[in-house]
Every structure is written in C-alpha cells, then in structure tokens.
C-alpha cells in the first residue's frame, strides 16, 4: 500500500538549497515545472520517538563513513559541524546555502531491509455474487 515517502525541507532560499542537493550531494531529480525539483532518495527508514508534542518531525541523511562525508564537504567548501558521538551513531550538521542545517549521520543501529511495496489486498466482499 505504501510506495514511498516524500520529505520536505523548508527554506528561505529554496533555489540555492535545491542547487545544493543537485550539485553538491548529486541527488537525481526531476523538474516538475518552473525549476521545482523533486529529488530521489536512497532507501529510507522511519522511527517513532516519544515526544511532548505531536506533529514534530526530523529529517536526517545517513552515510557509510561520517569522516569521509565531512572531508568531501570540506573539499567543496561546505561547512559541517564537529562530529558528535551519539549512542545511535556519529552526527554532523551541514549548513545549507539557505542557512538551514541538515543532519547527516553514520548509524550504529541495526538497519531494516528496504521496503518493497505490495499491492493492497482486495476488500472482502468485493467478489461479484451470482
């Protein structure tokens, strides 16, 4: 039933941040009109954490080696925060051209297998009776 996920990054400079995703992170994309780019993402996962409020969501990219990632960003003159060692992984934040921060981490936790969409089951009673 679920075929994917659509994440949104809000930005005060969306054109600059779209260019960053396209040119620096080299995410494949389609232009759906007027320079509005929709980017593909690598396999994703979602977790539900306890919180004091609903409707609070976070978005992170994951990488295989955080030090290699930070070095690659430094070569492109993209600032990253110092690497933090968390229980669940090693975390840095990339500063986007629009001024926002984007978390990138190397996970230490187990990763689920990629989801493969399945067709929704037919509702019961949908057979035509004779």
User: pLDDT at residue 126 above 70?
Assistant: no
80 within a domain of the structure (yes/no): yes
Residue pair 66/105 in contact by the 8 Å Cβ criterion: yes
Residue 75 falls inside a structural domain: yes
Which parts of the chain are beta strand (E)? 29-31, 37-39, 60-62, 84-86, 89-95, 101-107
Backbone φ and ψ for 40, nearest 5 degrees, come out as -80, 155
**Could you report the per-residue pLDDT of 14-33, keeping only the tens digit for each?**
999 999 999 999 999 999 99
What's the domain range around 60?
14-43+56-107
Answer yes or no: is pLDDT of 127 > 90: no
Burial (Cβ within 10 Å: 0-12, 13-18, ≥19) of residue 8:
exposed
Q: What is the CATH number of the domain that holds 22?
A: 3.10.180.10
Note whether 61 and 101 are within 8 A (CB). no
pTM above 0.85, yes or no: no
Rounded to whole angstroms, what are the CA distances from 90 to 34, 59, 100, 101?
Answer: 37, 15, 20, 16
Looking at the structure of the chain, the number of domains it has is: 1
- The answer to the question of residue 67 being in a domain is yes
Q: Is residue 125 part of a domain?
A: no
In a domain, 89, yes or no: yes
CA 70 to chain centre: 17
Helices (H), the chain: 14-19, 66-75
Q: What is the pLDDT of residues 63-72, one digit of tens each?
A: 999 999 999 9
Is residue 113 situated within a structural domain? no
3-class secondary structure, 79: coil
In a domain, 129, yes or no: no
pLDDT score at 91: 96
In the DSSP assignment, the letter for residue 12 is S
Task: Identify whether 68 is part of a domain.
Answer: yes
């Amino acid at each position: 039933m679920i075929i994917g996920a659509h994440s949104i990054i809000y930005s005060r400079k969306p054109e600059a941040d779209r260019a960053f995703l396209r040119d620096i992170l080299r995410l494949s994309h389609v232009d759906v009109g007027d320079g509005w780019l929709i980017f593909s993402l690598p396999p994703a996962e979602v977790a539900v954490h306890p919180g004091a409020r609903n409707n609070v969501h976070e978005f992170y990219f994951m990488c295989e080696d955080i030090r290699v990632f930070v070095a690659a960003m430094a070569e492109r003159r993209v600032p990253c925060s110092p690497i933090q060692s968390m229980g669940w992984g090693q975390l840095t934040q990339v500063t986007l051209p629009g001024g926002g921060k984007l978390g990138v981490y190397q996970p230490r936790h187990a990763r689920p297998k990629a989801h493969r969409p399945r067709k929704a089951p037919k509702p019961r009673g949908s057979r035509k009776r004779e």
